[in-house]
Amino acid sequence: MKTAQLPRWVWLGAVSLSAVAGMVNVVGFLGFEHQGLGHLTGTTSQLGIALTQGDWRSIGHLWGLLLAFCAGATLSGLIIQNQQLRMGRRYGLMLIIECALLLLAVPLFARQHIGGAWIAAAACGIQNALATTFSGAIIRTTHLTGMFTDLGIGLGHLLRGLPLAMHRLTLSGLIISGFLAGSMAGALLFSAYTYQALYAPALLTGLAGASYMLYALLWRSL
């Protein structure tokens, strides 16, 4: 599916979820492990360092993050099943599960238990797989490498006088802005409430999931 063909609710969902991911990731960085939760490139590099240094504690923690993120994505693929965008799929259920995981992570984080980071990473895996599924693999919301790559390609095309994919560039800019805004909000919330800052993204995903499920139910009844 091309970006221009995505319905408006997908655009709104992508920007909202990127803000959620920004909040969650900031809590990971500001927390006791100082570890990003929504992207795995840096985590994999850190794992490589830990393996060469024989730092078994870090190896266990980092492997846990990788496996938890993958487990969340696996659960999303298992429940949603198909990458074809269609009203009525279990997007709402996955958002409710993400909400529950974020709520569960709070007391573990508060006790400085690594399980909090693992559970939050699983929530990010669910979200990224969900966004990938409902956008036909166009959108990722928990990391921005692809979005910045699209912007760079667009700039290169502009310098060469080539046509621009304005819908894709606009979506990339909105997702980056949403993630940045979420990161700022997450930093402010963490400074005031520490790990309870995760209640904000949990509330957002819970409300979004419940709203989607209600909308899908009404849509079926029409």
pLDDT, tens only, 151-181: 899 899 888 888 888 888 888 899 999 999 9
Q: Distance (Å, rounded) from C-alpha 100 to C-alpha 98? A: 5
What mean pLDDT is predicted for residues 174-192? 96
* Residue 222 within any structural domain of the chain: no
pLDDT, tens only, 13-60: 889 999 999 999 999 999 988 898 988 989 999 999 999 999 999 999
* Residue 15 within any structural domain of the chain: yes
Residue 113 amino acid letter: H
Domain count within the chain: 1
Q: Which of 181, 69, 193 is nearest to 125 (CA)?
A: 69
* pLDDT of res. 32: 87
DSSP 2-46: -GGGS-HHHHHHHHHHHHHHHHHHHHHHHSTT---SS--HHHHHH
* Residue 167 within any structural domain of the chain: yes
* pLDDT of res. 222: 54
Cβ–Cβ under 8 Å, residues 15 and 122 = no
* Residue 176 within any structural domain of the chain: yes
Q: What integer best gives the mean pLDDT of the chain?
A: 88
Q: Which of 26, 5, 21 is nearest to 193 (CA)?
A: 26
Domain of 70 in residue numbering reads as 7-217
Q: What is the pTM of this model?
A: 0.90
* Residue 166 within any structural domain of the chain: yes
Place 7 in a pLDDT band, splitting at 50, 70 and 90: low
* Residue 142 within any structural domain of the chain: yes
* Residue 1 within any structural domain of the chain: no
* Residue 2 within any structural domain of the chain: no
